[in-house]
Every structure is written in structure tokens, then in C-alpha cells.
């Protein structure tokens, strides 16, 4: 699904940042129906919101979870909180961090850039969505 799309290089020609790759890719992989205007919301989340904070691939993944699992607003259900915690805990367990700076130091290469960091977020998101929201 999304992870396969990203492994195949989705978003590289467009020069998307990590958050954009996740949101634009998820829009395609999960048929979210977002238009170009809505997709621009991910732009400022790349590079850990440009300050090396929480990885943009994760923040965009939270956006996807919100789109799929929030009916109107977050406080109507604890599901988004639970899923967000699961995403971050799984990512931290597999990648040893959730912040852009340390992730880049450990996993970024000149050849692949942050591809492995982004694909790992997509793999976790794919697993969660397949379990919670099976798409035919």
C-alpha cells in the first residue's frame, strides 16, 4: 500500500518533503479524496517542523489517522488518541526515536536521504489501517 508506493520512489521527482510524501502518498494509496489545497497542509511539517522536532513522516501519519478515524472532532472519541500513541510507540520501538534530528543522524544517507525513515512510518501506518479500516 503506502509503504510500497514510497519504496518505489513516490514523491522523489516532485521533491516532496517527508510529511508531504506521507500525506500525498496516503491520499493515493487510501483514496482519501484530498484536493491539492488540502494536501498543502503537510508542507510545514517536514524536517521535524523545520526545527528537527517530531519527524514529519509521523506528523503526517497522524493527519491520515485523523482523516480516517475522526468523525467530526477528536474529543468525540478516544480512538485518535489511542491510535496516535500506538503509532508513536511502534515507531519509537522500531527506529529508536521519533525526532527528526536523531533519526537523520542514525538513518539518513546521501543516496537514500530519509527514505528508510519515511517508509518505516508508512509500514506502521499500513499495518494499523489494514487492521482498523480494511480497504477493499
Of the candidates 51, 5, 9, the one whose C-alpha atom is nearest the C-alpha of residue 31 is: 5
3-state secondary structure 32-80: CCCCHHHHHHHHHHHHHHHHHCECHHHHHHHHHHHHHHCCCCHHHCCHH
* Rounded Cα gap, residues 113 and 133, in angstroms: 31
Average pLDDT of the chain to the nearest whole number: 95
Assess whether pLDDT exceeds 70 at residue 113.
Answer: yes
Tell me if 124 sits within 8 A of 91, measured CB to CB: yes
Range 81-93 average pLDDT? 98
Give residue 133's pLDDT band: very low, low, confident or very high (50, 70, 90): confident
pTM (two decimals)? 0.95
What count of other Cβ atoms lies within 10 Å of the Cβ of residue 11?
Answer: 19
Cβ-contact 46, 18 below 8 angstroms: yes
Residue in this structure with the C-alpha cell 518533503, named with its chain if needed = 17
Map residue 7 onto helix, strand or coil: helix
Amino acid at each position: 500500500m503506502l509503504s510500497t508506493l514510497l519504496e518505489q520512489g513516490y514523491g522523489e521527482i516532485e521533491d516532496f518533503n517527508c510529511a508531504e510524501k506521507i500525506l500525498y502518498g496516503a491520499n493515493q494509496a487510501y483514496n482519501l479524496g484530498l484536493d491539492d489545497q488540502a494536501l498543502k497542509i503537510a508542507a510545514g511539517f517536514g524536517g521535524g517542523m523545520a526545527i528537527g522536532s517530531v519527524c514529519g513522516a509521523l506528523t503526517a501519519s497522524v493527519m491520515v489517522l485523523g482523516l480516517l478515524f475522526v468523525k467530526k472532532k477528536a474529543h468525540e472519541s478516544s480512538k485518535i488518541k489511542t491510535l496516535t500513541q500506538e503509532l508513536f510507540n511502534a515507531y519509537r520501538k522500531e527506529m529508536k526515536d521519533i525526532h527528526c534530528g536523531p533519526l537523520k543522524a542514525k538513518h539518513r544517507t546521501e543516496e537514500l536521504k530519509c527514505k528508510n525513515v519515511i517508509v518505516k512510518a508508512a509500514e506502521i501506518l499500513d499495518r494499523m489501517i489494514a487492521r482498523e479500516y480494511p480497504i477493499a
